[in-house]
Amino acid sequence: MTPLRIGIAGIAIESSTFSPHRTRLADFTVTRGDALLARYSWMGAPWTTGAEWVPLLHAVSLPGGAVEPEVYDALEAEIVERAKAAGPLDGLFFDIHGAMSVVGRTDAEARLATVIREAVGPDTLISASMDLHGNVSRELASAVDLITCYRMAPHEDAWESRERAAYNLVERLHDGGRPRKAWVQVPVLLPGEKTSTRVEPAKSLYGRIPAVEALPGVVDAAIWVGYAWADEPRCRAAVVVTGDDEEVIAAQARELAEAYWHARDDFAFVAPTGTFDECLATALASDARPFLISDSGDNPTAGGAGDVSWTLSRLLVVEELRLGKASAIYASIVDPEAVATAFAAGEGAEVMVRAGGRIDAGPSGPVAIAGMVHSLLPGDPVGGDIAVIRTGGLHVILTSRRKPYHEICDFTALGLSPADTDLVIVKIGYLEPELYDLAADWLLALTPGGVDQDLLRLGHHGVRRPLFPFDPDMADPDLTPELL
């Protein structure tokens, strides 16, 4: 039997159009050849028998600002060139995030899927795996044959979802052929911190998916929250149910879409919220330790610049921290110049640096930090060179490249113990699993930045209206799915 030939390609990034940060080629990790195949632990699993996987190109970046056009063009051109040179492909696994924005353009993933389709031809089955915070336009849904997304936020099932997309592709190539898709967008746009699957109503909405997927005539069912910090017409929730029974997939897509619409007023933040000053006062007065505060407006894993310094400026004037009566960790501020100064001085040295506010000046430009170099970590794979400066009871983490702080080891590698610290302030939205388990208590601070949780103050003008919550009194929409 001739083996199935399946290509692998994609560009994966989440891009805030409200952030002044720009994503360049150096921000991407680009893999080809065996390194690309090594990304996927399911290579060699029994269900892959009889398939030859053809690595084209995959590029992935930490979320950030919009991608520079020339960077996108170069990556797209190489994928297309490699797809054409690969020879006939039975299928293609399209591994994307779904919320990439390119400066001056809209609907980047639909464009990428369309040019790949042109390169591989109409007979090749394309299966896309996406983040549930991606956007599914009609053009994107039409350009692929199978499409699915994560079912958990936080995304503990990300690799499971990629495997499902690849598995469904192999199964259809063996005996299923091209399925139909029931696609419908839901005019709701909410931040991920209001749609976590840890809590209702998203918990129950996503909990319905396995039962839909198990119905005869259904291959996959998926709900997308959409991406709230890009200002494009495609930005809104979506539902796609894929399968062979047109009546069933259309009915199920409509039910899921209507359930999402009717729950729109029930979505709430995953944690208690407040201004940063309110959250800080509550944390200092609490006996819960460690007390975590999310600096949500500049979350780099949602697309924030990672150097908005306003929160840090507030911490530096807190008397309890200034006098060392309370301890805190602030993670983090990206500022290569400040890091270089700390490295030049060395551990234990007293330094004065100005940090942050160089990419996104926001309400506060660079802020002055005077203190002792607590620790230095050269060559972190994500953050580059990293320095910690202690001033009073506050430890400020400075990085030379944008880095999220999600795991305990991120802190202990710097000689910090968040479990033994009074307050841990992290540029993040909802807490990732290890920090969630660590927190004795937790507040979500509604802080400024390119991924501000208060969508109404960001100034969207490119989204399609009416759209909830921008138009809270809008009429019920027509949620009849379109069969693609």
Does residue 2 surpass a pLDDT of 80?
Answer: no
For the segment 386-404, the average pLDDT, to the nearest whole number, is: 97
CB 231 within 8 A of CB 19: no
pLDDT in tens, 233-257: 999 999 999 999 999 999 999 999 9
Percent over 90 (pLDDT), the chain: 95
pLDDT of residue 176: 84
User: Residue 364: pLDDT band by 50, 70, 90 thresholds?
Assistant: confident
Does residue 1 surpass a pLDDT of 80?
Answer: no
User: Residue 430: pLDDT band by 50, 70, 90 thresholds?
Assistant: confident
In whole angstroms, how far apart are CA 49 and each of 52, 106, 173? Answer: 8, 39, 12
Does residue 278 surpass a pLDDT of 80?
Answer: yes
pLDDT of residue 362: 78
pLDDT of residue 175: 86
- Collect all residues with Cβ–Cβ distance below 8 Å to 146 and sequence separation of at least 6: 125, 126, 127, 128, 165, 168, 169, 172, 179, 219, 220, 242
- Omega before 20 cis (within 30°)? no
User: Residue 88: pLDDT band by 50, 70, 90 thresholds?
Assistant: very high
Does residue 3 surpass a pLDDT of 90?
Answer: no
The three-class DSSP label of residue 314 is helix
Nearest to 5 by CA among 105, 128, 115, 87: 87
How high does pLDDT run on average in the chain?
96
Angle at 169 between CA 166 and CA 175, to 5 degrees: 145
For the segment 71-88, the average pLDDT, to the nearest whole number, is: 98
pLDDT of residue 267: 97
Name the H helices within 356-420.
408-412
pLDDT in tens, 18-74: 999 999 999 999 999 999 999 999 998 999 988 999 999 999 999 999 999 999 999
pLDDT in tens, 254-273: 999 999 999 999 999 989 99
Residue in this structure with the two tokens 């746009």, named with its chain if needed = 189
Q: What is the dihedral of CA 87, 90, 95, 98, to 10 degrees?
A: 100
Percent over 70 (pLDDT), the chain: 100
User: Residue 220: pLDDT band by 50, 70, 90 thresholds?
Assistant: very high
pLDDT in tens, 193-210: 999 999 999 999 999 999
